[in-house]
Structure 1
């Protein structure tokens, strides 16, 4: 073997060497195995790796393993061991939205939490922004949809508001005779109040829970509705805090409208200006608005001071005179029961929808003809109808078929 001080360049990569080098600092070649080749290339070293002598790069001969020489150490033994990768929990599949391809390749720990909906790689900070691209993440309630066997609802933030202050709740409790009741509650947070999104959530869930408990017990459906509206009012009033008063903020508040179908009877209840409409399958039959607004416009019409078009054209038209909240006065929940003589649907909605289909005839024209068979599709369609018309407000709508279809008979 030649002396190392006679090798000035690495035989593998031609990088200059320093006296005493045992390995090339550039490519890691083992310089202890550098040997001179015979013949025309005798002055050029040949590198043996793992016992195989490699000829110069311009040589045409193949190299062969030389059993006469012990194999050189495996180059991988000179590298640091790779970082351990945590084992996946049996029976689970990693969520691709939370897997960092770079982390998977390098073995670095994966960051926890959801990833950005825009870039797909950044994690989300406490303020809801992507730490990689800065994209603001959508709130979970900006768009909501839910469907049970025979009832469905959808809600959207709209095109002008920063938050969705609407909320809904639907349910299908079983009755003593084995049939199901259908419950749909829709609430609209009062924009001028504090934490109105909390108010609409509390009201919808409290009213639905109350009817889920009372209707199956055989409580008269109209009484159950009346009690549910008071339960919703109490839930919203409980949200008011001393901090609201100290900051001179209006207490959390919302409107509510609900529909329940049980035993062939349709009952609606409301406080405020959210509405319920009856739309029969046979569009030649009469559609109807089932609720009367608690609003300035409705009061003007009821007093005979204006007709309906004049009242609703006034800038004060949507000022509500009834709502749920700690600062509500003379709470007077409204209930009404009906027994339709034909099949159809009840449209339960906030003014984000009915502003664009105010009359019963306009609402019937907007509702798909197969609404009773496809309630979720119809709720989605009506949300889209409102967005296409301008989407100036949050929009929420529930579709309640009458009579109820057997579970699974409809299709979204």
Structure 2
């Protein structure tokens, strides 16, 4: 039987074990250095009808990696030359920027759900973010969220991570209980995506400096899998795909981008040409202080076959946009990795990096059997 650790005393000062910065007991990553943490409580946002703002609760979770020890751990050596990494994050010998734990991290809340988020090859930091949750029983209920920080905006890496977590917590709490009809459940869940996007937007704004002339911004893509029902919502050009097993049905890109490429596609331009043309990745909707519309496009699908629900950033679909081609890539990759979603997601990230890795890469997967 797993036992949960009791919450830390209120007077204790919790610090990141990597850099010594002060953290809270619900944080999953240190905002100072990006190191992953194991929280003692998990924040869950519960939206109450008629309330002026969401009520945030905490519930105990498992083991604690955050300690009250004030002494920070020594920084790991430079991966390029083995030299000492300075306080500014650069090697004091060769000047290489040290790789942060935020550059590559994985999540696997249950055996059938996983996400991998990676910096890629060309970017100097990882501005993508994932946040996933799942019930233990395979195929029962999963929440997948990806936010892709806009690289031209300030602090989008921090803001995207905050936005993804906030949206995940809203969708975790949004269970359409008591609604036996699939259409009713789908409609209720679709409404929760509007709340999730709004809360994610607030989180992005909260992590934007008030005097910033280039406000942090990011995309938003999320999906909830409940048994055979998938409900999804997006803002920007991160995507949701349904990829049934080979021969079990037609693969689908469920989401529709908010981008200049999509505008051109709707004008009749060939998809490949539009997605590779000028300003193809310029988004027309986003989350952030300077956004005028954060209402997501939503939709739903009842699944009829086994397969993979995928939420990903353009770091993956840049190289494999078509749903049929992506289905084939996943099938070929799974033949090597096996059915576990974590090595499968990791292999897909590796594949994108092998194609050039010109952007940050996020892949979140849930298995429907």
Give TM-score scaled by structure 2 length: 0.71
CA distance in 2, matches of 1:264, 1:346: 11
Asked if 2 retains the 8 angstrom alpha-carbon contact of 1:184 and 1:398, the reply is yes
CA distance in 2, matches of 1:379, 1:187: 16
1:162 to 2:140 alignment = no
Q: CA RMSD in A?
A: 2.8
1:196 to 2:160 alignment = no
Partner of 1:85: none
CA distance in 2, matches of 1:112, 1:380: 28
Deviates more, 1:123-132 or 1:233-242: 123-132
Could you tell me how far 1:111 is from its partner in structure 2?
10
Q: Which has the larger radius of gyration?
A: 1
Could you tell me how far 1:156 is from its partner in structure 2?
1.2
Asked if 2 retains the 8 angstrom alpha-carbon contact of 1:130 and 1:136, the reply is yes
Query: Aligned to 2:362, what secondary structure does the other structure show?
Result: strand
Partner of 2:211: 243
Task: Give unmatched runs, 5+ long, in structure 1.
Answer: 1-94, 96-109, 404-412
CA distance in 2, matches of 1:365, 1:237: 39
Alignment of 1:235-314 (within 5 A): 235-244=203-212, 249-283=213-247, 285-302=249-266, 304-314=267-277
Could you tell me how far 1:179 is from its partner in structure 2?
8.4
Asked if 1 retains the 8 angstrom alpha-carbon contact of 2:244 and 2:250, the reply is yes
Partner of 1:16: none
Could you tell me how far 1:254 is from its partner in structure 2?
0.1
CA distance in 2, matches of 1:347, 1:187: 14
Asked if 2 retains the 8 angstrom alpha-carbon contact of 1:186 and 1:396, the reply is yes
Alignment of 1:5-404 (within 5 A): 113-118=74-79, 123-131=84-92, 135-149=96-110, 150-173=112-135, 180-215=140-175, 220-244=188-212, 249-283=213-247, 285-302=249-266, 304-367=267-330, 368-369=333-334, 373-403=339-369
Asked if 1 retains the 8 angstrom alpha-carbon contact of 2:245 and 2:307, the reply is yes
Partner of 2:37: none
Partner of 1:28: none
CA distance in 2, matches of 1:289, 1:296: 17
Partner of 1:104: none
Larger RCO, structure (CA 8 Å, separation 6 or more): 2
Could you tell me how far 1:236 is from its partner in structure 2?
1.2
Number of residue pairs aligned between Structure 1 and Structure 2: 288
Could you tell me how far 1:154 is from its partner in structure 2?
0.6
Could you tell me how far 1:122 is from its partner in structure 2?
5.6
Query: Aligned to 1:314, what secondary structure does the other structure show?
Result: coil
CA distance in 2, matches of 1:295, 1:123: 43
Query: Aligned to 1:141, what secondary structure does the other structure show?
Result: helix
Asked if 1 retains the 8 angstrom alpha-carbon contact of 2:235 and 2:295, the reply is yes
Deviates more, 1:120-129 or 1:154-163: 120-129
Asked if 2 retains the 8 angstrom alpha-carbon contact of 1:115 and 1:122, the reply is no
Could you tell me how far 1:383 is from its partner in structure 2?
0.3
CA distance in 2, matches of 1:187, 1:173: 22
CA distance in 2, matches of 1:401, 1:130: 42
Q: Deviations over 1:32-61 (max 9, x none)?
A: xxxxxxxxxxxxxxxxxxxxxxxxxxxxxx
Q: Deviations over 1:296-339 (max 9, x none)?
A: 1111222x252323322321211100100010113321111111
CA distance in 1, matches of 2:161, 2:73: 29
Query: Aligned to 2:294, what secondary structure does the other structure show?
Result: coil
Could you tell me how far 1:120 is from its partner in structure 2?
9.6
Could you tell me how far 1:194 is from its partner in structure 2?
1.0
When residues 228 and 283 of structure 1 are mapped into structure 2, their CA distance, relative to the original with a 3 A threshold, is same
Q: Deviations over 1:244-271 (max 9, x none)?
A: 1xxxx22110001111111421111110
